Amino acid sequence: MIIFLYSIAAAAALIYVPFLLVAYARMRMGYETFSTPGAMLDKLPPYAQRATWAHQNTFEAFMIFAAAALMTYITGVNSPTGIGSA
């Protein structure tokens, strides 16, 4: 049942994977664009824009996933379906 806690930790780490692409694109643009991050989004390449949106969406999905995994861990549900979903 500890797999549920490990899956929450893994999901929390995976939130920042798309942001690595955004950071790479921002570094290629130069440091002077860091003062206006909202305007910089329009100047990013398409892959970095999609990575920004993916990064923001993972925060929404993580909240639901973490709550469900914690409820499963606390209630002691130990089914193959629950473990597979984690």
| Residue 62, pLDDT score | 92
| Residue 33, pLDDT score | 61
Q: Which residues of the chain have pLDDT under 70?
A: 31-35, 37, 82-86
| Residue 42, pLDDT score | 80
| Residue 10, pLDDT score | 92
Q: What's the pTM?
A: 0.68
Asked if residue 49 lies in contact with residue 29, where contact means CB atoms within 8 angstroms, the answer is no
| Residue 34, pLDDT score | 64
The whole-angstrom separation of Cα 57 and Cα 8 is: 16
- Tokens 């949106």, residue located: 53
